[in-house]
Every structure is written in structure tokens, then in C-alpha cells.
Chains A and B, each alone.
Chain A
Amino acid sequence: MLPYIDSNKDDVQRVAQAAEEEVRRIETKYSRFRPDSILSKINSSDGQKTTIDAETHYLLNYSSVAFELSDGLFDITAGVLSKLWDFRNGIIPSPETIRTNLAYVGFQHIRFNSNSIILPAGMSLDFGGIGKEYAVDCAAAICKSAGITHGIVDLGGDLHVIGPQPDNRAWKVGVRNPRAPENAIAELAIMQGGLSTSGDYERYFEHSGKRYCHLLLPKTGMPVSYWASVSVVAPSCLLAGTLSTIAMLKQSDARMWLDEQEIQYLGIHPDLTMIERNPCG
């Protein structure tokens, strides 16, 4: 967090603390790894109705719109497929295993309304593609409502730029080199908005010269490979994250699709050649 305000440092500390608590709240609520999270409760409901609150309904509704608009590529029920891939030991699952589990993938099978959800038994939700991005936006909202006008909320690469630098120049944000993630390979100039990067270097293994990453196509259960990473700048981090994930999953169709959205993006191929687009110039 890089807050920059011409006001009391203690005020800034308090806002930063409130923002941090908000991130923790969201993380606790939607963590797949905590048995007491609402997500775990839904995932262990075994086909029974689970009560949800307005915030969860909002995220489910958003996921449903993203599912439709991406023609089924963005699917928060595809988490079951990730479990089949052993990234630590580099083991590729068998086609039979994948085929069996594909039966449990498909957002179209879920029924939900503003206060409840029915998740068919065997299916499981994963907010991994939206939780962190949503938390970034919420933390940024806290900062904005406290009067902060310049600064960035950064959760490990998913950012929300609240406003430019105090002298009104854009922030220069580094984009990781997908083949050397501790280094930046490019810089994006951002005045305000969300930035999110989807890449094949977060969880992967290589086998016979081929890279298998954690971004799986919901229809086949197999990883994508066309892009090494796609970074998108959008009005919110949530939107940026969804667009960058869909772009990765669209593979060769991504470029035309991203151009049509008229947003700033940077796509990096596995050979590190880059496609950059900035509609604002």
C-alpha cells in the first residue's frame, strides 16, 4: 500500500488498517481452505440449500454474467479440475479422470437467488479468480471514502490505483517477466483503475518441454498455453481480473476480443514477444 496524502499520518494509518481488516474479512469469508468460510459451507452442502447474504449473492451474480459473456470460459465451478493436477509433483491426470470430473463442472447447473444457493452434490465453487480482485476494490473503496485521492492498493500484483501520483503523473507499474517473475519486463502507465495479470507462471510444471499451468479450460480440463501472461487495466480490479483470465483462456482469440473492449492491455507470448494496446494513447 502506497498512500500519499497531505494530511495526518495517523489518519492514513487508520485508513490503511481499516482497508487491511476489510481484505482479511473477505479472505476469511471466501477462503476454500477455511472450514468456517461461507464458501466451504456451500461446498459441503451436498446439494442442500445454503443461505447466502447480499455480498455473496453479488459475487455469484457477477460470476454468472462473466460466465455468459465469456461463453462459458470463466467458470467458478471449474475448481474441481484444478485438484486433479498435481503441480507440486508434476503429474498429468489421466483422460478418464478428467472426463469423470468434467461432469461436475458447469455454472449452468447452479441455482441461486438473493438469499440462497443450491449447489448440486459433487460440485464445488472456487472464488480464486475473483476473491482477491474483489478485496482489492473493497480496500480501495475504503480509502476513497476516507478521502484518499492518490495511492495504490496492491495485493501481490492485483492492484487498484486510487489516483495518480501527487503531481498528477501516472504511476509506472511493472509487469512481471513470465519467465523470470522476480524481474519486470515492461511498465504500464496507469492514472487510475484496476490492474490484474493472469499468467502461466503462478502454478505450473514442465514436462517434456511443455508447460502445464493452473489455468484450465472448463470444457476440456486441460491447461492453456497460447499466452505466458495477459495484464489488463479496467475500471476496477475485479473487471481487470476477469478480463485477463478470459483472455488467457481464449488463447488465440484473445487479441481481437480485448481490442473490442477498448481497454489497455499487455499480452506476453511464451517467447516473450509482447502485444500492447493503450486506447488512450
Chain B
Amino acid sequence: MKSNKKNVLAALAAAAAMPISTNSHSLAAPQDSQIGYRYSQYQEADAPRERTFTPTIERYQIDVHQLHYGRPITGNWYINTDLQYETLTGASPLQTYENTDGNSVLLMTGASIDEQRTDLRVAPTRYFSQGSIGGSIAYSTEDDYQSIALGLEGQLELADQLTTLHGSISVSNDTLSPTDAYLSSIRQDAEGNDKRSVSIYEGISRVLTKTSVVQAGIGYTHQSGYLSDPYKFEDRRPGQRDQVTLDGRYRLYFNVGDGAALHLDYRYYTDDWGIRSHTITTRWAQSWKANQWTFNLIPSLRYYRQTAASFYRLEQNPPDDELSSSDARLSTFGALTYGIEGQVKWQRWLVSLDIQQYDSAENLALIQTSSTETPALVDYQVVSLGIEYRY
């Protein structure tokens, strides 16, 4: 067989073309070890004094310390470990109810609590030439709560090398043990109860052009068990909750400075408690480089709105055999989060500072706002400082 001589190099090159990527199974797992520490402070703004029943207006402050360690293990494994320790002080809403004048009254807990929580999470991942499979186990404990969660997730890159499928499934079991049980029979009844949750998520991401990527996903969670808040008055929630989320993300890269990207995220949430919410987030990630230094600045803006749960009510004494809750997190409201993150990289070090401000209000729901006041809606600020080393 005489081959067309002119095409020999092209034909050979075509046969030689593909596979440097098929052997990338030996490269797919990250090869760097990482160790990081992050300190965050979450500070809620005071409750509005003109609406509180008692002078207690100071709300939560939470200090969080996080330690992260990741390392490759022989073959194609990588393991991530995270340890978190946080302390929580402050008061929280016991109940919000509407008085005879039509104003909302906010009952805060009296004494300030002082709680600690410790979380540990271990997640090994196995990398293959076309993707990865990972597992995780997490344990969380605080005075009044213990939680254990297991997860399994996977990623598969399709043959076109432009599309990746993601899937995950997780289960968790939380056991309650409310503190100061003598304070209410509700707390006593909640003792030993648990809350179970099963979640699945499927997503697909695709490279659209040389400078853009899109991702879409759908998630479903089923919760069952004791879902009410034992620290609040008149808080009787259903024993089950089905939740569905739809999310989409878009990334567009620009040749500005030393690289920049526009992020646009949208998330839709709905559940069988009657809550529906929309979240839109936008970020600009800007990078500059000089010698061995890299500087990243990422301002962000997020808008969130939700509609109330069907059993959200502000009666001071709703009937005992009916569902109810005056928890502001189940009301109709809107929220705006704005902030900025700065990162400095030098050789193997990364330092980052993140400041975010969150403001929520009834009228920020913009459309279909409710006429009731929700004084328990909280504003908060988070400041976070992290340092990471790769080797």
C-alpha cells in the first residue's frame, strides 16, 4: 500500500496528538501540600431598641478559628482535613409578635450565652484520568448539639474535554440537647431528639469559549425529625422538609491588568414550607502581578429575597395544635451583601482579607413585600483574615 507521501507527517502527528492528556492520570491529583489558618469575626448589629421588650439589644458575635491541611497521598489520592473552633456570645430572638397597635415586638433572650463549637472534617479524594471521586466525614459538637455527616462526590470529565459532570450525595444526623432545659418544657421535650438530612446534587459545567465557562446544577434535600427551634417561643415546625435548588454560574475572563474575571451567579430555592428565594451574586476578580508577587482584589455584591413560610405568623399566642414560627429567617425579606476581598501571594504564601456587610430588611424584598415589621431581621458584618502556605 503506497501512502500519500505528503500526508505522512500530518497523519503521524494526528496519531501522536491525543494522549499526553490520557496519561495525565499521573498529574490530575494536586501535588502541593497546603496548610492554612483563618480567623473570622461575625458581628451582628444591635436589635432596634424601640421594638425590643427588654433592654437587651446586643445580638450575636461569633469568633471563628479555622485550620486547614491538605496533602497528596501516594498514587492519585489527596486528603483534606479541616478543623474549626468557634465561640458564640450574645442574645438571640425568642419571639416576634404583633401587639394590639400593629407594631412588632421583639423578645430577646435575657442572658447572653457563651457557647463553643468544634467541627472536624476529613475528606479524601481519588483522582482518575477523567475525573475524581471523594468522600467526606464531618463531626460537629457543641454544648447543645452534636452532628455527624457523611458525603460522597464525584466529577467526570467528558471526552470532549470541555464538559464536566458533578454529582454528590450526603447524609447527616444531628442530635439536640438544649442547654438550660429547666427554662422551658420545650427545651426538655427537645432533648435527645434528632434531625436527619439527605441531599443530592447534580451539576454540569462547560467551557463555552476560550474565555468563558458556565455551570448549572440542581439539588434536592429531604430533612426529617425535630426541625423546630427549641430556644424560641411558639416555634412549631413540620417534622419534614423537602427543598429544591437550581443554580447557574457564569464566568467571563478579561485581559485586563494581569487577568480579570466577571462572575455572575444565580440561585433559585423552593421548599414545601412555602419559602421561595432568589439569590443573585456578582463579583469582579482582578489580578495584578509584579516580580514574584500577585495581588488580587475581588469586590462583590449579592442580592437575596425570599417569601415567607406558610406557618410564619406573628401572633403572641397561636393555638398549640397549629404550626407556627416567628423566626425572621422564615419571613419575607430581602438582603443586600456587599464586600471586598484582597489577596496577596508571594512564592508559596497567600494572605487574604475579606470584609462583608450584610443588610436585611422587609422592604428589600422589593416586590410582594409584607406589611409587617420584622425587627428580628439582622444586619451583620464579617471580617476574615487568612494565611496559607503551599509546599
Query: Which A residues are closer than 8 A to B by beta carbons?
Result: 7-8, 14, 18, 22, 25, 54-55, 58, 61-62, 65-66, 68-71, 137-138, 141-142, 145, 234-236, 238-239, 242-243, 257, 260-263
- Nearest-CB distance from A140 to chain B (Å)? 9
Q: How far is the CA of A257 from the CA of B6 in the complex (A)?
A: 9
Question: Are B9 and A261 in touch, CB under 8 angstroms?
Answer: yes
Q: What 0/1 pattern do residues 3 to 36 of B give for CB contact below 8 A with A?
A: 1011011011111101110110011000100000
With A58-B18, A138-B20 known as contacts, the answer to whether A68 contacts B9 (CB < 8 A) is no
Contact B15 A65 (CB under 8 A): yes
Known contacts A7-B292, A58-B19, then 11 further A-B pairs from the complex at CB < 8 Å, ordered by chain A residue: A8-B292, A8-B347, A25-B26, A55-B22, A65-B15, A69-B3, A71-B3, A234-B9, A243-B9, A261-B8, A262-B9
Q: How far is the CB of B166 from chain A (nearest CB, A)?
A: 23
Closest chain B residue, CB of each to CB of A74:
B12
Set of chain A residues within 8 Å of B11, measured between Cβ atoms: 65, 69
Q: What residues on B are CB-neighbors of A238 within 8 Å?
A: 16
Q: Please give the distance in Å from A149's CB to the nearest CB on chain B.
A: 15
Assess the B20–A71 pair: CB atoms within 8 A.
no
CB nearest neighbor in A for B347: A8
Residue of B5, B13, B22, B129 touching A257 (CB-CB under 8 A): B5
Q: Assuming A54-B19, A69-B11, A238-B16, is B5 touching A260 (CB within 8 A)?
A: yes
CB-contact partner of A239 in B1, B16, B129, B347, under 8 A: B16
Q: A260 and B6: CB pair below 8 A? A: yes
Query: 9 closest Cβ contacts across the A-B interface?
Result: A65-B15, A58-B19, A261-B9, A54-B22, A141-B20, A62-B15, A69-B8, A260-B5, A55-B23
Contacts of A243 in B (CB 8 A): 9, 12
Asked whether any CB of chain A lies closer than 8 Å to the CB of B210, the reply is no
Kindly provide the distance from the CB of A154 to the nearest chain B CB, expressed in whole angstroms: 18
Q: Is the CB of B22 within 8 A of A71?
A: no
Interface CB pairs A-B, < 8 A, 17: A8-B292, A22-B26, A55-B19, A58-B18, A61-B15, A62-B16, A65-B12, A70-B8, A138-B20, A142-B27, A234-B13, A236-B16, A239-B12, A243-B12, A257-B5, A260-B5, A263-B9
Residue of A at shortest CB range from B3?
A69
CB of A231, distance to nearest CB on chain B (Å):
16
Point out the residues of chain B lying under 8 angstroms from A8, CB to CB: 292, 347
| Cβ of B259 to closest chain A Cβ, rounded Å | 14
Residues on B lying within 8 angstroms of A by beta carbon are 1-3, 5-6, 8-9, 11-16, 18-20, 22-23, 26-27, 31, 129, 292, 347
Q: Which residues of A lie under 8 Å from residue B20 when comparing CB positions? A: 137-138, 141
Q: With the chains together, A18 CA to B12 CA distance in Å? A: 28
Chain B residue nearest to A58 in the complex (CB): B19
Given contacts A69-B12, A239-B13, contact A58 B3 (CB under 8 A): no
CA distance A35 to B9 in the complex (A): 35
Expressed in whole angstroms, the Cα–Cα distance for A145 and B27 within the complex equals 10
Decide if the interface of chain A is mainly helix, strand, loop or mixed.
helix
Among B1, B19, B31, chain A packs the most CB atoms within 10 A around the CB of B19
A236 cross-chain contacts in B, Cβ below 8 A: 13, 16
**Residue on B nearest A62 in the bound complex, by CB:** B15
- Cβ contact within 8 Å between A54 and B129: yes
Residues of A within 8 A of B9 (CB): 234, 239, 243, 261-263
CA distance A55 to B26 in the complex (A): 11
With A7-B292, A68-B1 known as contacts, the answer to whether A242 contacts B12 (CB < 8 A) is: yes
- Chain B residues whose CB sits within 8 angstroms of the CB of A58 once the complex forms: 18-19, 22
Assembled-state Cα–Cα distance A255/B26 (Å): 39
How far is B18's CA from A62's CA once the two chains are assembled, in angstroms?
10
Note all chain A residues with C-beta closer than 8 A to B23: 54-55, 138
Tell me the bound Cα distance from A55 to B1 in angstroms. 28
Which residues on A sit within 8 Å (CB–CB) of B13? 234-236, 239
User: Across the two chains, which residue of chain B brings its CB closest to A137?
Assistant: B20
Contacts of A71 in B (CB 8 A): 1-3
For A259, the closest partner residue in chain B by CB is B5
Chain B residues near A261: list those with CB within 8 A. Answer: 8-9
B43 → A minimal CB distance (Å): 39
Q: Residue of A at shortest CB range from B6?
A: A260
Pairwise interchain contact B31-A18, C-beta atoms closer than 8 A: yes
By beta carbon, the residue of chain A nearest B5 is A260
Contacts of A257 in B (CB 8 A): 5, 8
Q: A8–B129 Cα gap in the complex (Å)?
A: 29
Q: Which residues on B sit within 8 Å (CB–CB) of A70?
A: 8
* Complex CA distance for A72 and B77, rounded to whole angstroms: 43
How far, in Å, is B162 (CB) from chain A's closest CB?
Answer: 18
A182 to B5, CA, bound (A): 35
**In angstroms, how far is the closest chain A Cβ from the Cβ of B301?**
33
Q: Which residues of B contact A262 (CB under 8 A)?
A: 9
What is the chain B residue whose CB lies nearest that of A63?
B15
Residue of chain B at shortest CB distance from A26: B23
**In the bound complex, how far is the Cα of B3 from the Cα of A185, in angstroms?**
34
Query: Which residues in A have their C-beta under 8 angstroms from that of B6?
Result: 260
Distance in angstroms from A42 CB to nearest chain B CB is 18
With a cutoff of 8 Å between Cβ atoms, the chain A residues found around residue B1 in the complex are 68, 71
